[in-house]
Amino acid sequence: MIKFLNGTLLRFYVKKLSDLGERKAIQLISEILSKGDVAVGIGDDCAAIDMGEEYLLVSTDMISQKTHIPEQMTPFQIGWFIVAINLSDIAAKGGMPLGLVLSFGLPKETSEIFLKELTKGADACATTFDTHIIGGDTKEAGDITICGTAFGVVKKDEFMPRKGTCPDDVVAVTGALGKAGAGHFNLKNKILDEDISKALLEPVPKLKEGRLLAGQKCVTSCMDLSDGLSSSLYQLSELNNVGFEINQSKIPLSSELLQLQKKQCNLNIFDFALHFGGDYELLVTIPKVYFEKIKEILEKNGTDLIAIGKVTREKEIIISIGDEKKTLENKGYEHFKKQFF
Amino acid sequence: MIKFLNGTLLRFYVKKLSDLGERKAIQLISEILSKGDVAVGIGDDCAAIDMGEEYLLVSTDMISQKTHIPEQMTPFQIGWFIVAINLSDIAAKGGMPLGLVLSFGLPKETSEIFLKELTKGADACATTFDTHIIGGDTKEAGDITICGTAFGVVKKDEFMPRKGTCPDDVVAVTGALGKAGAGHFNLKNKILDEDISKALLEPVPKLKEGRLLAGQKCVTSCMDLSDGLSSSLYQLSELNNVGFEINQSKIPLSSELLQLQKKQCNLNIFDFALHFGGDYELLVTIPKVYFEKIKEILEKNGTDLIAIGKVTREKEIIISIGDEKKTLENKGYEHFKKQFF
């Protein structure tokens, strides 16, 4: 369709990343790349390399000033955040982290204090989860752009893939949803004085939950909820050729969301819990027969596992609200495309 | 010294990354980070994690449009470059690559064609060196910012550290210097029509040379020349508490540099060979007694090893030009600070 080579006209015909969206861009990349003998490649939370009895897990995540760093985020929180979101991918595969490397792309006017606080935040998150930053790179860049790579190990029979779930499995999450959405709304609209944005700015990777779940060796699929619940369910549906039925009343709502609702009555809190990303809870599917036992084990260890629905044969994602059943829309955030909030 | 909290005045007192430079920034980060039980941490080409008989090597490098990507660089070359410079760090430790992950931070106006070419270039470099891109991240960013992380393995007794050299060791390089400097000068000044900038834009990681050297088990120190010869010698001097005496006439000059000289008579070609980074040859030190044998082994395998000087007891870096001996200045490129070219 490119008929005119004059720059201005050409611009109307060239497909851009804003037309593709993040997931199509990743698909395009995946189609071009040569496949090695990697056990799990692009499209899961981590890549996994066969190391004999174990998999080496590798995950990488980038954030940039323009699109991921709210102006209220302190440099300490930026450092915490980049480590937490990378560890969350290791958690989602049941892994034990071995370490992280970080690359800081920073404008040359960046202050020494900013760099110190950024490093302290990254270090604090890593050490909180018994791991370390073992290397990195510091480069001059136009905008603040930070990239982290986490690596870990998991025994082969404990690895929790994205692909593997079957109809009738229980769908569960490891904690309350809507924390990050509430935090984002609060930052944008300055409704509450107290800091209800902490969960958005300092997320907690569910490493303990991931290890506990993996140890049971019967999780059929797992991913973190960084993209939000609806988007994640659509991704699992596509990959596993199944559908889901989610019971809205079972979805655990975060206290931050309920606090917000008190101040802002007309708020549709389920929009936050269903569609907003950034909560970093784990979304798992577990065969019905094992679910109660596993829930009990997690609770004995002080962590939650909340059933919110089931896997279905029909490739459709249904949300049931009381007696009403309707299709759950896929309204999750996708990079390069417009955000729905 | 910060007496005024008014923004404008404060600016004159806050230390910035442009005051610190890249290496001081890395030192500052290293001082803050908690140390884990990592075998080799910040300050070497790769971090190394103890995995029993082997080390897991991890290296990360970031490039950004503003500071690293000449406008003449094609998207294919950008992709090649980010993979090559990360593999070069694995090469410098004697490692065999296991794979890479890449993060692309791209403006949303980026074309689909750009993304495809970028990916093809990255894939071409990885497969040329028998490895693969196994995962990544694609995010919206203000500027093009690309981060790669390579990982590999090396047997513990074959690992080539930066620290370990002793006085009287031979200093050698694996190939001609000044390729990247000549390419940069050519791009900036458009002196030659033919493409003598290929070595700058499509560097070749010395993985074969790294493995061959490591296999001999007697390299006392090794690093890649990404920062340029003078800067690298100063880094090794500091770390090993030794000095160097380099014989200028022994430095192998690249054909690109000699071509440039023909067109531009007043060019000080040794400035390029001594100070300009981006050649990605390996700089090694080897005990005198083993040097000739190792050189022979490398040459039998079709690769070079050129002695350029020796390690000295006195912590001073000397360049000898005929009978004249003088201190070699440290004029290498450092991020955040002004470039000398």
Cα–Cα distances (Å) from B188 to B72, B262, B272, in that order, read 10, 17, 14
What is the pTM assigned to this prediction? 0.90
Residue A44 is classified by DSSP as B
Yes or no: say if A206 and A213 are a contact pair by the CB < 8 Å rule. Answer: no
What dihedral angle (degrees, nearest 10) is formed by the CA atoms of B192, B193, B196, B198? 150
pLDDT score recorded for residue A116: 95
Task: Indicate yes or no: CB of A17 within 8 angstroms of CB of B106.
Answer: yes
- Answer positive or negative: Cα dihedral of A276, A282, A286, A291: negative
Answer whether residue A60 shows pLDDT above 90.
Answer: yes
Q: Are A9 and A55 found together in one domain? A: no
pLDDT score recorded for residue A7: 42
Q: Are A21 and A49 found together in one domain? A: no
pLDDT score recorded for residue A193: 64
* Residue-range definition of the domain harbouring residue B131: 43-157
Please state the domain count of chain A.
Answer: 3
Which residue of A33, A136, A336 is in closest CB contact with B42?
Answer: A136
E strands, chain A, are 47-50, 54-64, 96-106, 133-140, 145-155, 170-173, 221-224, 243-247, 282-286, 306-312, 317-321, 324-327
Q: Are A133 and A251 found together in one domain? A: no
C-alpha closest to that of A172 among A306, A299, A282, A311 = A306
Cα B36 to Cα B50: distance, rounded to the nearest angstrom = 11
Residue A205 is classified by DSSP as -
Task: Indicate yes or no: CB of B36 within 8 angstroms of CB of A108.
Answer: no
Task: Indicate yes or no: CB of A135 within 8 angstroms of CB of B58.
Answer: yes
Q: Are A197 and A267 found together in one domain? A: yes
Q: Which residue of A has its CA nearest to B44?
A: A135
Residue B341, in any domain of the structure? no
Cα A89 to Cα A100: distance, rounded to the nearest angstrom = 12
B132 contacts in chain A (CB < 8 Å): 33-36, 38
Domain ends where: B127, B157, B187? B157
pLDDT score recorded for residue B336: 53
Q: Are A183 and A271 found together in one domain? A: yes
Answer whether residue A2 shows pLDDT above 70.
Answer: no
Cα B273 to Cα B155: distance, rounded to the nearest angstrom = 33
Cα A184 to Cα A198: distance, rounded to the nearest angstrom = 10
Cα angle value A39/A43/A49 (rounded, 5°) = 20
A116 contacts in chain B (CB < 8 Å): 28, 32
C-alpha closest to that of B213 among B204, B203, B223 = B223
More confident residue, A241 or B68: A241
Q: Are B317 and B171 found together in one domain? A: yes
Task: Provide the 3-class DSSP secondary structure of residue A145.
Answer: strand
Residue A338, in any domain of the structure? no
pLDDT score recorded for residue A335: 54
Residue B336, in any domain of the structure? no
Q: What is the mean pLDDT of residues A187-213?
A: 88
Domain ends where: A142, A157, A172? A157
Cα A269 to Cα A265: distance, rounded to the nearest angstrom = 10
Question: Does B133 reach chain A within 8 Å, measured CB to CB?
Answer: yes
Helix axes A179-189, A255-263, angle to 10 degrees: 40
Question: Does A7 reach chain B within 8 Å, measured CB to CB?
Answer: no
Cα B119 to Cα B125: distance, rounded to the nearest angstrom = 10
Cα B332 to Cα B341: distance, rounded to the nearest angstrom = 10
Task: Provide the 3-class DSSP secondary structure of residue A296.
Answer: helix
Task: Indicate yes or no: CB of B149 within 8 angstroms of CB of A99.
Answer: no
Task: Indicate yes or no: CB of A142 within 8 angstroms of CB of B143.
Answer: yes
Residue B253 corresponds to which tokens in the numbers above? 């000059």
Cα A139 to Cα A104: distance, rounded to the nearest angstrom = 6
User: What is the CATH classification number for the domain harbouring B209?
Assistant: 3.90.650.10
Residue A109 corresponds to which tokens in the numbers above? 């006017």
Cα B175 to Cα B313: distance, rounded to the nearest angstrom = 26
Question: Does B72 reach chain A within 8 Å, measured CB to CB?
Answer: no
pLDDT score recorded for residue A68: 81
Domain ends where: B106, B128, B157? B157
Question: Does A226 reach chain B within 8 Å, measured CB to CB?
Answer: no
Cα–Cα distances (Å) from A32 to A79, B118, B119, B132, in that order, read 33, 10, 7, 12
Task: Indicate yes or no: CB of B335 within 8 angstroms of CB of A133.
Answer: no
Residue A46, in any domain of the structure? yes
Mutation target for A interface from B54, B59, B63, B112: give the one with most A CBs within 10 A: B112
Answer whether residue A56 shows pLDDT above 90.
Answer: yes
Residue A335, in any domain of the structure? no
Return the percent helix, strand and coil in chain A, to nearest 5: 40, 25, 35
Which residue of A36, A102, A139 is in closest CB contact with B64?
Answer: A139
Residue B25 corresponds to which tokens in the numbers above? 């920034």
Question: Does A30 reach chain B within 8 Å, measured CB to CB?
Answer: no
Residue A341, in any domain of the structure? no
Q: What is the mean pLDDT of residues A6-23?
A: 66
C-alpha closest to that of A181 among A250, A270, A265 = A270
Q: Are B59 and B147 found together in one domain? A: yes
C-alpha closest to that of B315 among B248, B246, B244 = B244
Q: Are B192 and B292 found together in one domain? A: yes
Q: Are B199 and B93 found together in one domain? A: no
Q: Are strands B324-327 and A282-286 parallel, antiparallel or unpaired?
A: unpaired
Task: Indicate yes or no: CB of B112 within 8 angstroms of CB of A61.
Answer: no
pLDDT score recorded for residue B262: 87
One pLDDT digit (tens) per residue for chain B, 341 residues: 333 444 444 444 578 888 888 878 888 888 888 887 777 777 788 999 999 899 999 999 999 988 888 888 999 999 999 999 999 999 999 999 999 999 999 998 999 999 999 999 999 999 999 999 999 888 888 889 999 999 999 999 999 999 999 999 999 999 999 999 999 888 888 777 667 888 889 999 999 999 999 999 999 999 999 999 999 999 999 999 999 999 999 999 999 899 888 887 788 889 999 999 899 999 999 999 999 999 999 999 999 999 999 999 999 999 999 999 999 999 876 555 544 33
Q: What is the 3-state secondary structure (H, E, C) of chain B?
A: CCCCCCHHHHCCCCCEHHHHCHHHHHHHHHHHCCCCCCCECECECCEEEECCCEEEEEEEEEEEHHHHCCCCCCHHHHHHHHHHHHHHHHHHCCCEEEEEEEEEEECCCCEHHHHHHHHHHHHHHHHHCCCCEEEEEEEECCCCEEEEEEEEEEEHHHCCCCCCCCCCCEEEECCCECHHHHHHHHHHHCCCCCCCCHHHHCCCCCHHHHHHHHHCCCCCEEEECCCCHHHHHHHHHHHHCCEEEEEHHHCCECHHHHHHHHHCCCCCHHHHHHHCCCCCCEEEEECHHHHHHHHHHHHHCCCCCEEEEEEECCCCEEEEECCEEEECCCCCCCCCCCCCC
Residue B268 corresponds to which tokens in the numbers above? 């000080």
User: What is the CATH classification number for the domain harbouring B89?
Assistant: 3.30.1330.10
pLDDT score recorded for residue B12: 47
Yes or no: say if B272 and B179 are a contact pair by the CB < 8 Å rule. Answer: no
Which residue of B25, B60, B133 is in closest CB contact with A101?
Answer: B60
More confident residue, A300 or B195: A300
Q: Are A148 and A207 found together in one domain? A: no
Residue B194, in any domain of the structure? yes
Residue B302, in any domain of the structure? yes
Which residue of A16, A122, A141 is in closest CB contact with B145?
Answer: A141
Helix axes B75-92, B112-128, angle to 10 degrees: 30
Answer whether residue A85 shows pLDDT above 80.
Answer: yes
- Tens digits of residue pLDDT in A89-126: 999 999 999 999 999 999 989 999 999 999 999 999 99
Cα angle value B209/B207/B72 (rounded, 5°) = 115
Task: Indicate yes or no: CB of A17 within 8 angstroms of CB of B126.
Answer: no
Which residue of A17, A20, A133 is in closest CB contact with B33?
Answer: A133
Q: Are A152 and A205 found together in one domain? A: no
Q: Are B202 and B276 found together in one domain? A: yes
Answer whether residue A249 shows pLDDT above 90.
Answer: yes
